[in-house]
Every structure is written in C-alpha cells, then in structure tokens.
Structure 1
Amino acid sequence: MLTVVGIGADGWVGLSATARDALGTAEVIVGSARQFALLPGSLTATRVEWPSPLLPAIPGVLDAHRDRVLCVLSSGDPMFHGIGTTLSRLTRVRVLPHPSSVAVACARMGWAGDDVEVVSTVARPVERLHAALHPGRRVLVLSETGDTPTAVAALLRARGFGPSTMTVLEELGGPGERIVTGTAAGWAGASGPLNVVAIECAADPGARRLPRAPGLPDDVYEHDGQITEREVRAVTVAALAPEPGQLLWDVGAGSGSVGIEWLRSHPACRAVAVEPRADRADRIERNALSLGVPGLRLVRGSAPAALASLPAPDAVFVGGGATAPGVLPACWAALRPGGRLVVNAVTVESEALVAQWRTDVGGELTRLAVNRAEPIDGVIGWRPLLPVTQWVAVK
C-alpha cells in the first residue's frame, strides 16, 4: 500500500515516530526538491522528484514503482488541499498527516478554525477570494507563490476592502518563520514563497456588498440586456434548490447570472454555462471572475449539440432558447432522477411549450410579474418588467 507522509516546514524533527518509520523503511520516496531538503541524508530510499506538470504524471510514477515500498511526501495535511486526495482516487493509501498550514496559522492568529473560510489560490485564480469578502469575516488564503499576498492586497483594495488587516505567515513551524501584519491599503511588503495570508475583512464605507444569497443587483454583471433580472433570478435559484456538490447546467446562459449565483450558494456547487454567442461567452467569463466563481465551466456552443458530452446534471436552467428543437428533450433526458428542470418563458411560443411539457410530465407553472418604481416625467411610477412564466419540474 502507498503511504503518504505529511511534512511541515519544521522537517524531520516535526514528524511523528510512525512517519519517520515509514520513511525509514521506504524503498522509494516521491516528492519535491524542497521537501527532500527537509529529510536527513541517512535515509536510504531512492528519491524521485515529481515531474511537471504533476497531475498527468502521477499514474506513470505510481506504475513505475508499484512493486516497491513507496512513500509520497505532502506538505502539511495530505488530505487538505493536498496530494493525498488525488492519490486516494487512484489507489489505496495510508495517510500520516502533519498539521496543515491552516491549523498552524489559526493557532498563531488565535482564530477558531471552524469559523474561518479557507480560499486556495494554488493553481487557481486569486479572484476566488471575491466570494469570501464580507465585513467582519476571517479568511485564510493558501498562497501559490511569494507574489500572492501582493495580488490579494490589490484585489482587496479594488473591492473597497482596503482597511482589511492582512497578516502574512511565512514558513510556519520552520526555522525561518516570519509573521508580517499590515493593511491591504498600505501593503507593499515582499513575501517568501511559502506563506499563508490571514485576512480580517473590513470595508470602506462605500464598498459594494455582495451577499451569497441569490438576487445580486443587475449592475454587478456585464450584460447586453440578456440577463435574468434580480427579482426573477432570486426566485429561479430558489426553484433550482442548489445543494453542496450538485451540478447545474445553465443553458442559454446570457450573462451567466444564474450559474454564478448557484455557485456562490456553496463552494462545493458546480455549474456549466452553455452559450453560443462569443461576446456573451466572454462576458460570462469576466462575470465569473469578478464575482468570485472562476470555476464556472463555460461551453461555447448551441444546445442541444453542446450538451452531448457534459456530465449528467442535478439541475438544469433554461433561460434562453427553450423553443430550439431538441433542447428541452435533451435536458430532461440528461437530468438525474430527482433532479430539477426550471424554464423561464417570456414569449408566447415558449409559454405554450412549457404548458405542454407540464401536461406531459407534470410540474408547476408560476407567473412572475415584477414592477419597479422609477421616475416618469418628474414623478415616480411603476415600470413593469416583462412577465415570466416559470415551469419547475422534478424528474
């Protein structure tokens, strides 16, 4: 069985006796050059450095040493944003964890670990941080490089969170441990490559607040008018009923607003936005970045053809193109049992279509009418939005 050993910046002296024994009896140890430097020269195992890129190389490395006693090194806790999670999907593993950088950072900061949001920027965009920014919250950012704290500070300033306190914790537990504190507004310090950024979120008085609840203001999105308005969007996301880990198809995504707010409801949610127009697809990518969900998968193409190779969804929203031949049959066929299909119809033709589908497979029809108070000739009057007929069906 493969053994995965977590190791911290404190190196060999910080390992448990069990972890030392595992490394001492290993025939092959796989890790990075930085991790090998933490081991004593007395270990007799052959040291194999991971090639780059790492993920595609993992099966080949495991296969090459499948008949030998093998240990893999991981930074900190292998099962917390570590390689242990990936390896456990490929083979049986024995995991010997070290305290994660998050656990050590919380200990240094005096923070309760169960009340901290963790955002990893390792091989991920720093824009993921947007969704975690709320006044009074504590956030830990797992940095990719020594440049990450500067990028974090710039993002905080741009969002109006310049007053936030930033603490950069470098080489936690090691001989070179260093802790530097300042504000995002005044941040100018250089950081070492191994660091965690602790943020105590504080906003400028005029900062834009973006709650996780659905129904964000329409003007936080780039759009050309093809957007599900905030009031209807809030009802739509509620009807889709996102749960952690579930996958949404947002078909005819327009600005991407429904898929984006599905993803913002929980970090484990997944979504695919399907959009045929190149200009709108580009906007979807920008909206996903600016609203903290760069993990939104974008498929540039027209349904139903663009749906053929996608993983089966737990929920499907059709906001545009419902009347295109084959779209609703393809969505319904792909939907997992117990999944939800939500269609917003705004034309006579699409209303007739969802009415027929309700007759055939059931579900609920709801007419949504929204009126907004706006200035009209010097007074305030009600300006109606286009009414929406919403069909919700559970498979």
Structure 2
Amino acid sequence: MADSEPWLTIIGIGEDGWDGLIAPARAAIQAADSVMGAPRHLSLLPRQGRAERIVWPVPFADGVPMLLERRGERVVMLASGDPFWFGAGSVVTRHLEPGEWVAYPAPSTLSLAAARLGWPVETIRSVGLHARPVETLRPHLAPGRRVLALMRDGASVTGLAAWLVEQGFGDSTLTVLEALGGPRERVRRAVASALDWTDIVHPVAVAIEPAGEGCVLPRASGLEDNWFDHDGQITKRPVRALALSALAPRPGELLWDIGTGSGSVAIEWLLSDPTTRAVGFERDPARLARAAANAARLGVERLELVEGDAVTSLADRPHPDAVFVGGGLSPQLVDALRTLPHCRLVAHGVTLETEALLAQCHSRFGGELLRIELARARPLGTKRGWKASYPIVQWRVAW
C-alpha cells in the first residue's frame, strides 16, 4: 500500500447489505487485509475475499486501539448507515490525521425514515437515544414538533412510550421503524399510552409526534422556578432571566457557574443551544446532587459538576467564555477570575458586604453595575400590596 493512500476505509452498510454498497466500497472490502464490524454488520457481507473478519468489541471504545494497531494495513470498518450521523465515524477519525481515511456512507436512518413518513428532513429533530438517556427528549416535547429517535432495542422503545405517558404526552403518535432498507423492514404506528409490543427488533428508530397535556419547556430565558428542585438556593426566575441576558450565551461557548446551587443558570445556559457547555461548582454535596438531577430531568445531562471550593477547583480547567457568580464573590475569587483571558463575568450580590465589593470592582475594572429591585403583589388585609424582595446588585464586565 502506498504511503499516500488512506489505510482505513469507513463503510456505512444498510440492511440491504452487499447489494446496497457502491462500487468503491465493494472494491475496498475485496482488497482489505481485515474487516472490522459488529456481528450484524459482518453477517451482511458474502463469505468471500481474503480479509480477516474481526468482531468489534463492546464497549465500542475498546475497539479503537485494536483498529489503530492495524495502521499501515488495508482495513475496512463497517458502521450502520451514515457513519457520521450518530455513528462511529467521528469517534474513530478524531484519532486520525487527514488523509489516513476515506468514508463511503449508506443512506442514514434519518433519510430512510423521512422517505417512509413523507417528512421534510429539515423539519425533523433527531436524537440518539441508543447511547443517551430518554430525558434528552425533554426540550423537544411540544405539539407540532417532529422528532426521530434512534433506539437501542425493543425494550427501550416500550420504555420511551412509558416515559412519555409519565411526562403527560401519552397521546403522542409513535411510528416504530424497524430494519429500514432491508428485507426485515417493518413500519408500525401506535399511541404512546397503548404501545405494548414485545416483538420490536433491532435496528430500530421511533418517529415521535408529541401530543398531550404535558408541560412544554419554554425556550426563552427565565423558566418558572418549579421546573427545578431546590432548597431555596436558586436564582429566582426574573433575576435568572436578567443574568442569562447579561451572560449572553452563544453556540459552542463554555460557562462556569460558581455556586451553582440548583443548577438553574447553568441548565438554562445549556438549553440555549445544543453545542453549549457548562461546569457548575458547588461546595454542598446535596445541592450538587440536586443540580445533577435537575439537569438530567430537563435533558441536559452534559452539565459537568465539581464539588469543592471555587478558587481551588478552577485550576487546570479549560478557560470559560463566561462566568456566573450567584453569590459569595470574594476578592480572592475576583483575582482568580481576572487571570482568565477573553471572558465575560456576571456576578450578583445581596449582602451589603458583597455589594460593596461589587462597587469596588466596578470602580477598578469597569463594566456595568445594575441594581435590581423587585416587588410582588401580595394580600394585605382585604386588599393587596407590594412585598419587596431583597435588592440584588449585578456587575457585568468583560476582559
């Protein structure tokens, strides 16, 4: 094999097996020294050729070193459908240099499902539940949405139906799509509350049309406080909306939420875009566990949580694009955050001591200082009156 040739060929294979492969993919398999894939993928190939057949192990990550050991040989890796749509392609190629590999995708489950359903692909929200918790769907449950979920097996499909009932979306229509593109293909529909099939086969996906009386997760900043389990340590809805507006999340950005409490600010940051990231720092282990549960329930399990003192916990971590300090700002923390390059900071203070510190920081480092005073209408005898909350001072700065 010439040094300039890719040594790895990644081939997407559908349920139609060898017959569905394009000519370059067939040629790569016939010329390969070894072919790696799951047993189901290997069984779709005819018993011919000289290539050694190697079963990809479980868990998937264990197979990557096995693959890399064959660098320099002619190796074919088999994957389902399009290897770069919720597939194994990106997991493998992150370990390779450009020019080491070439890929030949097959039609993805998304495109096959859209063709069966008559749904425009651009209107479908796709979710990989074969490797993620079912709660990942939570932000997408709204009447009128079209969601396609890749599932692990038949049991996960019935589990999805039961979870939708629990969330108040038992009226959702589920289209179960099994073994698309091959001789075993089957497409069936049922309402979530009535789906009890025990003969669902792998590979399987479910098209979801949400319906029911369940609560729809709003997309604007400032969710109602009852979306979060908390012990009172929460940035309340109006103040949280102002904090998130000041933080101004952008796609791909990383937030540090220092003193995360219930995790509400970090969670809403993550809900703003699927590419955002967040780390929550919290000393109290009970609050840390509560924040983790809130994140999982609202479908943003990617929230990273760190227990410990903020100043000592910040070391050796990827630099954030934005930092939120909901309380407990100290001169030491300010000094630590000042070392971060190209960062936006939003800090809140309620006590006189923290308010004084924020005023000093504003004088020294600039930015914007905002005093937030809120009052709610409450019963006052037989009438109503305003009950004021503690004023909050917000310092917003970028450096």
Q: Same fold (TM over 0.5)?
A: yes
Task: Tell me the equivalent position of 1:376.
Answer: 380
Match for residue 194 of structure 1 among 166, 182, 203: 203
Quote how far apart the aligned CAs of 1:218 are. Answer: 0.5
Task: Tell me the equivalent position of 2:246.
Answer: 239
Cα 1:309–1:56, aligned 2, differ >3 Å: closer, same or farther?
A: farther
Task: Tell me the equivalent position of 2:293.
Answer: 286
Deviations 1:329-374 (A, max 9, x none): 223323x42x311111111111122222222222111111222223
Matches for 1:175-190 after TM superposition, within 5 Å: 175-190=183-198
Q: AA paired with 1:192? A: V
Counterparts of 1:364 and 1:62, CA distance in 2 = 54
Counterparts of 2:130 and 2:69, CA distance in 1 = 27
Conservation of the 8 A alpha-carbon contact between 2:32 and 2:75: yes
- Please state whether the residue corresponding to 1:211 is helix, strand or coil: coil
Counterparts of 1:327 and 1:241, CA distance in 2 = 22
Match for residue 19 of structure 2 among 13, 19, 39: 13
Conservation of the 8 A alpha-carbon contact between 2:327 and 2:350: no
Matches for 1:200-219 after TM superposition, within 5 Å: 200-204=209-213, 207-219=214-226
Matches for 1:224-373 after TM superposition, within 5 Å: 224-323=231-330, 326-334=332-340, 336-337=341-342, 339-373=343-377
- Please state whether the residue corresponding to 2:113 is helix, strand or coil: helix
Q: AA paired with 1:128? A: T
Task: Tell me the equivalent position of 1:42.
Answer: 48
Paired residues in the alignment total 389
Which piece of structure 1 moves more, 355-364 or 15-24? 355-364
- TM, length-normalised to structure 2: 0.94
Quote how far apart the aligned CAs of 1:233 are. Answer: 0.7
Task: Tell me the equivalent position of 1:167.
Answer: 175
Deviations 1:32-90 (A, max 9, x none): 111101111113211122223222541x2233211201111111111111111122211
Q: AA paired with 1:379? A: K
Q: AA paired with 2:359? A: A
Q: AA paired with 2:196? A: A
Q: AA paired with 1:382? A: W
2:117 aligned with 1:109, yes or no?
yes
Deviations 1:200-220 (A, max 9, x none): 11122xx32211211111011
Counterparts of 1:99 and 1:105, CA distance in 2 = 10
Quote how far apart the aligned CAs of 1:390 are. Answer: 0.9
Q: AA paired with 2:58? A: S
Conservation of the 8 A alpha-carbon contact between 1:321 and 1:327: no
Counterparts of 1:172 and 1:228, CA distance in 2 = 47
Counterparts of 2:381 and 2:27, CA distance in 1 = 82
Counterparts of 1:155 and 1:12, CA distance in 2 = 38
Conservation of the 8 A alpha-carbon contact between 2:328 and 2:349: no
- Please state whether the residue corresponding to 2:12 is helix, strand or coil: strand
Counterparts of 2:289 and 2:281, CA distance in 1 = 12
Match for residue 64 of structure 1 among 69, 80, 90: 69
Task: Tell me the equivalent position of 1:33.
Answer: 39
Counterparts of 2:273 and 2:297, CA distance in 1 = 17
Counterparts of 1:264 and 1:154, CA distance in 2 = 24
Quote how far apart the aligned CAs of 1:284 are. Answer: 0.5
Counterparts of 1:379 and 1:16, CA distance in 2 = 77
Percentage identity across paired residues of the two chains: 46
Conservation of the 8 A alpha-carbon contact between 2:282 and 2:308: yes
Deviations 1:170-200 (A, max 9, x none): 1111111111111112221232131111011
Q: AA paired with 1:350? A: T
Counterparts of 1:203 and 1:329, CA distance in 2 = 51
- Please state whether the residue corresponding to 1:373 is helix, strand or coil: strand
Cα 1:388–1:9, aligned 2, differ >3 Å: closer, same or farther?
A: same
Q: AA paired with 1:14? A: G
- Please state whether the residue corresponding to 1:6 is helix, strand or coil: strand
Q: AA paired with 2:335? A: P
- Please state whether the residue corresponding to 1:326 is helix, strand or coil: helix
Deviations 1:8-41 (A, max 9, x none): 1121111111211111111111111111011111
Note the residue ranges of structure 1 that are not aligned, 5 or more in a row: none
Counterparts of 1:286 and 1:359, CA distance in 2 = 39
Cα 1:384–1:48, aligned 2, differ >3 Å: closer, same or farther?
A: same
Q: AA paired with 2:167? A: R
Matches for 1:116-195 after TM superposition, within 5 Å: 116-190=124-198, 191-195=200-204
Note the residue ranges of structure 2 that are not aligned, 5 or more in a row: 1-5
Conservation of the 8 A alpha-carbon contact between 2:128 and 2:151: yes
Match for residue 55 of structure 1 among 46, 61, 64: 61
Counterparts of 2:362 and 2:63, CA distance in 1 = 50
- Please state whether the residue corresponding to 2:310 is helix, strand or coil: coil
Cα 1:318–1:32, aligned 2, differ >3 Å: closer, same or farther?
A: same
